[in-house]
Amino acid sequence: MTFDAPNGLERPVRLSEATRAFAWDSLRHKYGQDTRKVMDVSLDDAEGFDEMTPLERYDAAVARIAETAPIRLCEGEKLSGAATLGRAIGHQVPAVRNGAAICSSVSHLTLDFGVVLKKGLRGLRAEAQEALARYTGTEREPFARSCVSCLESFSVWHRRYLEALEGRPEFADNLAVLRRVPEEPARNFREALQSVWFTFAFVRLCGNWPGIGRLDVLLGPYLEADLAAGVLTMDEARELLAHFFIKGCEWICGGNYGSGDAQHYQNILLGGIDEDGRDVVNAVTWLTLDVLEELGISDFPTTVRLSRKTDPALLRRVAEVMRFGGGILAVYNEDLVIEALTKYGYELREARAFGNDGCWEVQVPGATCFQYIPFDALGILQHQTLRDYAEDVDFPDFESLYARFKADLTARVTEICRSYEAAFWYADVPGGDWGWKPQMPCTVVSLFERDCIARGLSYFEGGAVYNVRSPHLGGLADTADSLYAIKKAVFDDRKLTLREFFTVLRNNWEGEEPLRQYMLHHYEYYGCDNEEADAVAARILDDFADACDGMNGRCGFRFPAGVSTFGRQLEWSKGRLAAPHGRHAGEVLAANASPTPGTDLRGATGIIRSYCRADLRRMVTGAALDIRLLPSDVRGEDGLAALVALLRGFVALGGYFMQPDVADAAVLLAAQKDPASYQTLSVRVSGWNARFVTLNKEWQDMVIAQYAKEGR
C-alpha cells in the first residue's frame, strides 16, 4: 500500500491500517465503480409530470432521488452518507424521464455549511416554512414551496440512512451521531464532521458540485473544545478527518477522462484570518495537512491562505506537504485578496471570509451566485486586431496598434457582459426596471446560500447576496509576448516591417526558421523578470479591468475581472495562428497567468516577479500562477527552505494565487507508458488535480511539456 509521490519521497504513516486500506480501495476506484452501477432514478411513472412546471419536476426528481437512490455503507466507515448515482458524476441531476435527463445542476459555488452546523436542518426548515407563509399568494410562493419540499426530501434520505444503520452494531457510533445531525445543531467534532459530510453528500447526490470552503473555520472550534475537554485525542480526530477525505473520492472511476477523474470542484481552504481579523489556524488545519501528506488524496484541491503574518511553522508545514507533489496544496496571498475585495466594494468582514468556487476563483462563500466567462485574448489579437495578419492591416506605430487591441478587448468584454445581462435580466437599459428572468431550478443549493430562503428567490434568480459574472481573460502571456515581440522587432529594432512580419506569420514561419529562432531567443518575454515585457502584460490587465468596471452598475450583476485558462489553451490552440514570439500555429501555449512553457529563463523567482508586476488587486476573482518544480529543486532541508522562500516572496511581492507542483518529466513519461503502475500518482492540472493516468494523452502531454525545461 504505497500512496505515490511523484518524487520518490516516502510518505509518513500516522493513520490506522484500516483507514489506510479504506483509502487504498477508494483511490483505486472501488466506490466510484459502484456509483456508476446505478446512473439515475426514473420518473417515467410520475403522475401528472407533463403538467408540472420545471420547478415541480425538479422537486419530484429530488424527492425520487431521496426515496430510491442506493444506500451505501462502506466497511469500517466512520462517516455515513454517499452520493451513489452515476449521472451526478457528470454534472446533472441524476433523474430521467423517458431516458432523458430532467435538469442540469450547479457548480462553482461554495455552500454555507456553517448554517447546518449552527441551526440544523430543523432551523432551516423553520425558515423555509416561515418564508412560505410570507410568500404564499405571491410569485415567490413556488420557490418557497420548493425549499420546503427539498428539505423534506433531505429528511427522507436521512431517515433511510438511519434505518439502514439500525441493527448494524459495527456502525453503532455512526447511527448515534446521525440520530442527532444534520437535523440538530452539532455539539462536537464528530457530529460537525458528519453533519457537513452528510449535507455535502446529499447536495452531490442531487448532481451538484459544491466546494466545501474553510474547513478549519467550520470544524476547528468543535475539535478544539473536544480536545480541551479531553473527549477526543488528536490521533482519533485525524482518523475521523481522514474518512471525510477518503469518502470524498467516491466518484473516481479510473479510466481516461480528458481533464482527469478528480475534477468535482470540492475545494477546501485552510488558514488565514476570520471576519474579525483573528488567525483561524487550529487543530483541524494541522490535521488536514497530515491527512493530505499521508494519503496524497488530491480530490479536494486545498488552498492555504498565507499572509505576511503567517506563522513560520505553518509555512514550513505547507512546504513539507507541497513537496510531495501532486498539486494538493496551493496558496492565496490573503493580504492582497482581501485588499482586492474591499477595493472592489465588499465590506471588510465579508472580504475576510473569502472562499472560492471550485478552482480558485474568489467569492464570498455561501452568499455568491458565481459564473466566470472565459475568452482568449490571443484570439482577439490575432483574429480581430491583426485580422489574422491580413495584407491590408498596418499600423504606423506600436501605440496605434495597441489602441486598436484595447478597443477590441473592451468590445469583447462589453459583449460578454451584455450577453449575461440578456440571459438573466428582462431590461437592458441603465437605470431601467431590471427584473430577473426565470432560470433553471436549483433549489437544493439555494437552501445553503444566503439569502435565498428569506428572499424567496433561487440562487440563479436573485436569491444570493452577491451576483457575480466574472469575465476571465485567457492567453495573457502569449498576448503580451506577441505584442512585445512586434513592438521590439518591428518598431524599436526595425528588424523587419510589420507587413513582412505578417507574411511570415501567415505562412507559419515557413522557410523562416532563423527568424523564428531569433524571435524565440533574442528577447526575454513575460516570465523572465524583464520589466519591459512584463509592463505589456500589466497594461493588458489594467485595460481589461477598466473594461469590466465599465459594465458595473447597470443591473444586479457585478463583473469583476479574472485571469484563467484552466486548460483551455488546449482547445484554443487549434484556432490560433503562428504568434510573433516564435510560436507555430497550433502550439499549446501558456496556462492561466503563467508564462509560456520554455520562456521561463530566470527560474521560479523570475516567474513570480514577472507575475507580480501587474496590479493583481484589479483581478478581483483571481489570477493563477502555476509553478512547476523539479524534485531536485525541493530536495532536503535546502529544498524545503527554498520552497518556504518562494511562498514568502510570492506574498511579499503581491501575488494572488499560486499553485506549485513538484514532478519529474521522466516519471510522468514512465507513467504514460505504464499506467497500471502509477494509479495513485497525482498532478496539478490547473485549478484542480488529477490522477495523471486518468488524463487523456493530450492533457498528459500538456502537463509533461510544462515540466520540460529545455528542448525548443
Residues that bind another protein (CB under 8 A): 513-515, 517-518, 520-522, 529, 602-606, 608-609, 632-639, 641-642, 644-646, 648-649, 652-653
Cβ of residue 513: shortest distance to another protein, in angstroms?
Answer: 5
Cβ of residue 194: shortest distance to another protein, in angstroms?
Answer: 42
Any idea what DSSP says for residue 474? E
Give dist(CA 178, CA 194) in Å, integer: 7
- For 670-673, which contacts have Cβ atoms below 8 Å and span 24 or more sequence positions? 672/697, 672/700, 672/704
Cβ of residue 644: shortest distance to another protein, in angstroms?
Answer: 8
**With respect to another protein, which residue has the nearer C-beta, 32 or 597?**
597
Cβ of residue 467: shortest distance to another protein, in angstroms?
Answer: 37
Count how many residues are written for the chain.
Answer: 712
**With respect to another protein, which residue has the nearer C-beta, 60 or 537?**
537
Residue listed under C-alpha cell 507508458: 673
**With respect to another protein, which residue has the nearer C-beta, 209 or 650?**
650
Cβ of residue 409: shortest distance to another protein, in angstroms?
Answer: 30
Q: What share of the chain is helix, strand, coil (3-state, %, to 5)?
A: 50, 10, 40
Cβ of residue 603: shortest distance to another protein, in angstroms?
Answer: 4
**With respect to another protein, which residue has the nearer C-beta, 371 or 530?**
530
Cβ–Cβ < 8 Å for 683, 707: no
Cβ of residue 639: shortest distance to another protein, in angstroms?
Answer: 6
Cβ of residue 608: shortest distance to another protein, in angstroms?
Answer: 8
Task: Give me 128's grid cell.
Answer: 423555509
**With respect to another protein, which residue has the nearer C-beta, 309 or 418?**
309
Cβ of residue 512: shortest distance to another protein, in angstroms?
Answer: 10
**With respect to another protein, which residue has the nearer C-beta, 190 or 613?**
613
**With respect to another protein, which residue has the nearer C-beta, 327 or 598?**
598
**With respect to another protein, which residue has the nearer C-beta, 48 or 514?**
514
Cβ of residue 279: shortest distance to another protein, in angstroms?
Answer: 21
Cβ of residue 518: shortest distance to another protein, in angstroms?
Answer: 4
- Which amino acid appears at position 521 of this protein? H
Give dist(CA 560, CA 290) in Å, integer: 35
Around 188, how many Cα atoms within 13 Å sit in the side-chain half-sphere? 15
If one counts every other C-beta atom within 10 angstroms of the C-beta of residue 98, the result is 8
Number of H helices, E strands in the chain: 26, 18
DSSP assignment of 315-347 = HHHHHHHHTT-TT-EEEEEHHHHHHHHHHHT--
- For 233-240, which contacts have Cβ atoms below 8 Å and span 24 or more sequence positions? 234/283, 234/287, 235/14, 237/189, 237/283, 237/284, 237/287, 238/14, 238/15, 238/287, 238/290, 238/291, 239/15, 239/16, 239/19, 239/78, 240/78, 240/79, 240/189, 240/190, 240/193
**With respect to another protein, which residue has the nearer C-beta, 411 or 641?**
641
Alpha helices in 550-657 (DSSP H): 569-573, 603-612, 636-652
The CA angle 251-257-263, to the nearest 5 degrees, is: 50
Give dist(CA 170, CA 351) in Å, integer: 44
Task: Give me 276's grid cell.
Answer: 474579525
Beta strands at 466-474 and 368-376: parallel, antiparallel or unpaired = parallel
Q: Is 467 helix (H, G, I), strand (E, B) or coil?
A: strand
Cβ of residue 315: shortest distance to another protein, in angstroms?
Answer: 10
**With respect to another protein, which residue has the nearer C-beta, 230 or 514?**
514
Sequence-ordered list of residues with C-beta below 8 angstroms from that of 88, at least 6 positions apart, any chain: 35, 94, 105, 204, 205, 206, 207, 208, 251
Cβ of residue 640: shortest distance to another protein, in angstroms?
Answer: 9
**With respect to another protein, which residue has the nearer C-beta, 419 or 632?**
632
**With respect to another protein, which residue has the nearer C-beta, 393 or 653?**
653
Cβ–Cβ < 8 Å for 243, 282: no
Cβ of residue 596: shortest distance to another protein, in angstroms?
Answer: 17
**With respect to another protein, which residue has the nearer C-beta, 507 or 632?**
632
Residue listed under C-alpha cell 437599459: 429
**With respect to another protein, which residue has the nearer C-beta, 379 or 603?**
603
Residue 339 class from Cβ within 10 Å (0-12 exposed, 13-18 middle, 19+ buried)? middle
Q: Is 294 helix (H, G, I), strand (E, B) or coil?
A: helix
Cβ–Cβ < 8 Å for 525, 600: no
Cβ–Cβ < 8 Å for 536, 482: no
Q: Produce one character per residue of 159-170: b if its CB has 16 or more CB atoms within 10 Å, e if not.
A: eebeebbeeeee
Residue listed under C-alpha cell 531567443: 521
**With respect to another protein, which residue has the nearer C-beta, 74 or 538?**
538
Cβ of residue 519: shortest distance to another protein, in angstroms?
Answer: 8
Give dist(CA 332, CA 616) in Å, integer: 12
Q: Is 567 helix (H, G, I), strand (E, B) or coil?
A: coil
Cβ of residue 531: shortest distance to another protein, in angstroms?
Answer: 10
Cβ of residue 707: shortest distance to another protein, in angstroms?
Answer: 16
**With respect to another protein, which residue has the nearer C-beta, 632 or 696?**
632
**With respect to another protein, which residue has the nearer C-beta, 86 or 631?**
631
If one counts every other C-beta atom within 10 angstroms of the C-beta of residue 176, the result is 12
Cβ of residue 236: shortest distance to another protein, in angstroms?
Answer: 34
**With respect to another protein, which residue has the nearer C-beta, 507 or 517?**
517
Give dist(CA 66, CA 60) in Å, integer: 10
- Which amino acid appears at position 663 of this protein? A
